[in-house]
Amino acid sequence: MILHRTDLIKLNAMLLFQHSVLWALIVGVILAFLLGVAMGGNDVANAFGTSVGSGVLTIIQAYIMASIFETLGAVLVGWSVTDTMRKGVVDTQQYENNPKELMLGQVAILGGCAGWLLIATLCRMPVSTTHSLVGATLGFSIVLRGFHGIRWMKIVDIVVSWFLSPALSGTISVILYMIVDFSVLRRKKPFECGLRVLPIFYFICIAFDVLMITLDGSRLLKFDKIPVWGAVIISLGCGLIAAAFVQFVMKPRFNRKIQSLSFLRRLTFETLKKGYSNIIRYARSCSVRSFLGWFFPDKDRIEDDQTIKLFSTIQVRFDLYRKKVRRNRDRYYRNAIAPLTALVSIYKDKNAMQEGEVPIYILLYGVFGICVGLWTLGHRVIRTVGTNMSEINPATGFTIEFGAAMTALISSKLGLPISTTHCLVRMLLKTKSLTILYSVLSENYRSSLSVSLCMLRRIFVYQHLLEQA
């Protein structure tokens, strides 16, 4: 094929451009791997912190499950156009005539985010990767173009999320925990009550899980062709099947297993002396303080071991569901690999507009870095979320996981950006604050404050310093 002179000039210009920015591409690939490592040690790790903290999963089991589902999520969900981070915060038309500047900016974004996330992970602080990327994107754009080309309405949405996600997640966590507390944990026979509501919980879990997979799902599996009504019918059907399986298969097995054991709990002398139990306390007077003391859970209440175990498997189920929600809502893989995708796109096409889909090899490369970071650094943030911030059992862990997933789902349907890290931390605070509030009402608050205020101060101060930079 004979090339025209114009084509030769364009080809020569492209080769010169690629030669001049090859070093930036190489550095960007290295920094992208470090960013993946930092994400695995921080953002992915905090997702399993509650399951490890409640004892449902060991840390090795959490690593294995996270590695499997991160890879599946990247391949099946995360390979669409990365518009949000590549072109949502900054108007790329400002760099249409100078794509080299935009390419160098992506290197700066990768370096800044990777450095910050590694520092936060080493300091055991769970932070928001998405907000870190937004701050880094704003930083390089302000340096190169000032305040021109910044999409301020998108920034306003992100700032709103700083207040929206804690408020929404906190409210949902309180409501969910009180429902579980009154319907199961406080009853005279909590295990029997737990068995009755277990099919309902599984129905909700599986139905939402399937809905997130089928609604705007994988293009590889043609799930994106399923209409909304079809996704709803499929999810409800799967939820009913799961509920029926629990009702007619799992519940009889639980009953047979428990009946072979002794139901009589050995009460220690200390328990008899204090008189604590899981039974609902009735208000002794009509005062507001007495009513609130009855309404909120007692921090010294002894939970039934068999009842707590009922929530173990469903907590793991919701943990995986919440990770699907994170990926499916355009905030996780597609945001994190946006700088590397932009680098490769500009290098190949010399086009600042970056049209096209994310190559599958970039997704797999990012997942590899995430898995390396999870296995090497993940234990730090897992301990912060799972044990250092508050005491967690499978029941509270279930409400935290379900509440965080519901918050992400509701916010995404309303088009509101949130931080899942903020949601998770606020879930822990709000759930634990119920028992703290009861202790304040009972003049016993000094010994009940198990949430590490020093740790929480470090998390929020450092995270918001980065977001406002």
Place of tokens 């690939």: 29
Give per-residue pLDDT as tens, 280-296. 444 455 555 555 555 55
Residue 117 is predicted with a pLDDT of: 84
Nearest one of 377, 371, 366 to 29, comparing CA atoms: 366
What are 90's strand-pairing partners?
150
CA angle 74, 77, 82 (to 5 degrees): 85
Chain position carrying tokens 């509501």: 197
Question: What is the predicted pLDDT for the residue at 361?
Answer: 81
Query: Looking at residue 258, what is its pLDDT?
Result: 60
Per-residue pLDDT reduced to its tens digit, 52-81: 766 667 788 878 877 887 777 666 555 543
The model's pTM is 0.67
Backbone angles phi, psi at 210, to 5 degrees: -65, -35
**Per-residue pLDDT, 175:** 80
Taking CA 266 as the corner, what is the angle to CA 265 and CA 271, rounded to the nearest 5 degrees?
105
Q: How high is the pLDDT of residue 20?
A: 85
Q: Do the Cβ atoms of 425 and 417 come closer than 8 Å?
A: no
Residues of the chain under the 50 pLDDT cut: 1, 80-84, 262-277, 279-283, 325, 327-332, 433, 436-453, 455-456, 458-469
Token pair listed for 409: 């789902």
Longest CA–CA span in the chain (Å) reads 96
- Domain residue limits, the chain: 22-467
Whole-number pLDDT of residue 163: 74
**The total number of residues written for the chain in this structure:** 469
